[in-house]
Amino acid sequence: MKRIVPLLLVLATAACSQRAEMFAFSGANVRMVEGPPISDVQTGFDEALGCLRGKIPNGVVFAVGSVTDSTGKENFSEGGAGKYVTQGAGEVVQSALFRAGVSVVNRRDSSITINEANWGIRDIKRQVPVNFYISGSINSLDFIPGGGGIATVAGIGPRYKQSRILVALDLSLTDAYTGRVVASVPLQKQIYTSEMGVGLNNFFGTTLVQLDAGGMRREALHFALRQMLNLASFELLGQIMEPEVYAACRGRISEGVGAVAHSGTADPDALAQAMNGEQYAPDLAIPISMPDPPAPEVQPEATAAAATAPAAPAATAPVEMQRSRAELLGEKANQAATMAIKAARDSEAAPDQPTAMKKAAESLQLANLALLALKEAAAAGFAGDAGEVAAVVVQQALKAAQSAGTAAATRSKEPAALPEPDPAAKAAETVAKPGLAKP
């Protein structure tokens, strides 16, 4: 007992020394406690990401799409903090791409760009189109039961226990031009936790003494997720690069930090295809509004008759005869869809790949315009038979644009050789059309 009393006095003195930080009068501020200094976030994959700087041309543009929390795990009871998993995984991937030195555009928040375009102070066509974008989800968070033990002799003894948390994610790299997934990385990691301590619960004479001391160790869940996202971003970039260049940077990752055993759905030609189509990137930007259709051709006879005819009195159409905004939008949707189908056919009939890609991009642009106009028309009340017909035409335009884009991306870059005309067939054609033969 004589040894325990001094220990209790020491603990009480330490508690009193912290009184200024724990308690304060109602009219005074509590002195803020300063912990460790702020530092840059560093992981074991930063050096490998920095090694990629300059390895991918700046003309290839990347963006980050939706990287969602799909675990469904949250806790709001008993002081729970809510979501277990970070809701900002997309920003972590964006930082990883920026650290790798690739060209990155912001698609995480487009509200300012859209607002300025709607206000007329910004041309949306000045936005840089994306070649590739990363999307995915954090989709597993499993609490694995652990184990432990405790041993006491006369109320004194140690204790120990441990448990695991399994977290997994999937990220994909998509070709923005065709919508094709060109790389994919699934990752998982076990988060390790352990607790150990010693306790005293015994009588010393007639006095009950209870003491307990211990500690807990656990990996930070969100820091582990940042490491996983950094590795996944590095592997996605590596799957579209030259193997020897990627291997040189991959060697900078320690084996004890993390590794990927397979390449997934890698497409080594995706980067080269993006570079070949770079010159057509401005054609992929969708304008703010659809251009007006070309004016119909006027025959000379009609022009002369209009010039000599007396001027008709100006008349205003009745309100019931005026075309509604919904009908005008529906007509724009039909016009854009028709032009998209024609551009898709021109792409399929193009003599070489560059022309086919340009026409396919034009078709996709017009099909998107048709879809936007149809949505606005439907919101304005465009329905009935005319609405159903417009919807069918727009759907056909989207399918034609997608088909033309796929065909243009996979066809040969060399122009198709035109077959030599058959002399016999040409002679037969001349005989069949004597009016075209020379006298």
Instruction: Quote the DSSP letter at residue 86.
Output: -
Q: 414-431 burial string, b = 16+ CB within 10 Å, else e?
A: eeeeeeeeeeeeeeeeee
Are 117 and 124 in contact by the 8 Å Cβ rule? The answer is yes
Tokens 């260049």 — which residue?
245
pLDDT at 233 over 90: yes
Are 137 and 148 in contact by the 8 Å Cβ rule? The answer is no
Q: At 5, is the pLDDT very low, low, confident or very high (cuts 50, 70, 90)?
A: low
pLDDT at 434 over 50: no
Residues 274 and 345 in one domain: no
Reading the block at residue 32, the tokens are 């803020």
Residues 241 and 336 in one domain: no
pLDDT at 289 over 80: no
Cα–Cα distance, 329 to 238 (Å, whole number): 45
Residues 268 and 340 in one domain: no
- For the beta sheet containing 181-204, the strands, ordered from the edge strand earlier in sequence to the opposite edge, are 103-104, 61-69, 132-150, 156-175, 181-204, 207-218
Full domain range(s) for residue 254: 38-142+168-186+219-279
pLDDT at 426 over 80: no
pLDDT at 319 over 60: no
Are 137 and 68 in contact by the 8 Å Cβ rule? The answer is yes
Residue 219 vs residues 223, 225, 250: alpha-carbon distances, Å: 8, 11, 24
pLDDT at 295 over 70: no
Q: The domain that contains 259 carries what CATH number?
A: 3.40.50
Run of H or E including 361: helix 353-379
Residues 55 and 179 in one domain: yes
Q: How many domains does one find in the chain?
A: 2
Reading the block at residue 149, the tokens are 């033990």
CA 257 to chain centre: 26
Residues 237 and 334 in one domain: no
Reading the block at residue 168, the tokens are 């997994």
Residues 121 and 264 in one domain: yes
**Closest CA relative to residue 209, chosen from 155, 150, 152:** 155
Cα–Cα distance, 396 to 142 (Å, whole number): 45
Cα–Cα distance, 351 to 338 (Å, whole number): 22
Q: Which of 136-145, 345-354, 430-439 has the highest mean pLDDT?
A: 136-145
Q: State if pTM tops 0.85.
A: no
Residues 249 and 130 in one domain: yes
Task: Assess if residue 363 is contained within a domain.
Answer: yes
CA 40 to chain centre: 25
Residues 120 and 244 in one domain: yes
